[in-house]
Amino acid sequence: MSFLNISLASIKTKEMSNSSVVDEAIRFLAPFLEKKLYCQEKKPLVIGIEGPQGSGKTTAATNIRVKLLEKINCNIVQFSMDDFYLTFEQQLNLNRENQDNKLLQGRGLPGTHDVELLMKIFKDLIDIDHDKSPVKIPVYDKSLHNGKGDRLPLEKWNVVEKRVDLIIFEGWFNGYTSINTEETLIRKWNSIKATHPRKFGDVEDRHIQKINCDLRRYEQIWGLFDLFVCIKTENINNVYRWRLQQEHALIKKKGSGMTDMEVETFVDRYMPVYYLYYDGLGKTEEKINSLELDIDEFRNLVNSNYIMQ
């Protein structure tokens, strides 16, 4: 059994050849899972997976689960931040309460999820004897209400009936941390806005302060992570390219979709969060045994870096 036979000499940045994001993630995660099972630890390992939209994180998370199950006999539960979006009615209320804040006019950003429900589900999966108390995980359907989405009824949630060995939790802003002082936040935002006046000229300081305050509530989730897989790109503006590729593929498959301009406008709403917090992911990586995976604009893995505690 391999366990944690990772020498300090191996904890360094490596240039990749034919290795993939999934291959590297399995190489990183499997020893921790094997050790947990060998030691018969009851608490499940919690893995957080981060990756910008369009980077392939959801597909990677699914393939990581499949490949781990091929290697190791265990029970793995996988879910996403997206599963915990506010209900349709809750999002409508949020829209009304923040009518002049375009960042919150629709799901996706910090503040549009049920963080309390997410914490409860994590606590139930970690603490409860599942032989007696099944745990239900919500399911969100993005197609409902003409694409505005809604949470499905309780009877359609996914049920976990036995003890969990590993939890895989993915989300595009997993690990992002709020900026501590308003002075620093506003100074950074004003610099971003000056660089992109056409896109963000109508986003006021108080709109960003609201997002920053909401993001702080998610940091309790990152505190549950035992391991962190961080898919990173040198240029965060690659999100525009990746989202456009996804839309073109959708149009080819279904015959309709957003125009290129509509895709750009769609992504614009997310970019303030990327510009403000993406470069701060290292703060989370420094606290958790982490794997940093650097991908290029074509989603090819070019470097990996173990950050071990």
Model confidence pLDDT, tens digit, residues 238-261: 999 999 999 999 899 888 888 999
| CATH number assigned to the domain comprising residue 290 | 3.40.50.300
What was the pLDDT predicted at 175?
98
Mean predicted confidence (pLDDT) in 42-67: 96
- The encoded tokens of residue 188 equal 């950074």
Q: Do the beta carbons of residue 287 and residue 309 sit within 8 Å? A: yes
Residue 95 has pLDDT above 90, yes or no: yes
Q: Considering the domain boundaries, does residue 48 fall inside one?
A: yes
For residues 127-150, average pLDDT: 86
What contacts 184, CB < 8 A, 6 or more positions away?
none
Q: Give first-to-last CA distance, the chain, whole Å.
A: 22
pLDDT category of residue 16 using cuts at 50, 70 and 90: very low
Mean local confidence (pLDDT), 142-149: 91
Compute the average pLDDT of residues 4-18.
38
Q: Which domain holds residue 187?
A: 8-83+116-133+157-303
Number of domains the chain is built from? 1
CA distance 231 to 260: 25
Tokens encoding 169: 């939790």
Q: Has residue 231 got a pLDDT over 80?
A: yes
Residue 201 lies in a domain: yes
For residue 174, give the DSSP letter. Answer: T
Helix (H, G, I), strand (E, B) or coil at 158: strand
Cβ neighbourhood burial of 280 (10 Å; 0-12, 13-18, 19+): middle
> Tell me, what amino acid is at 280?
G
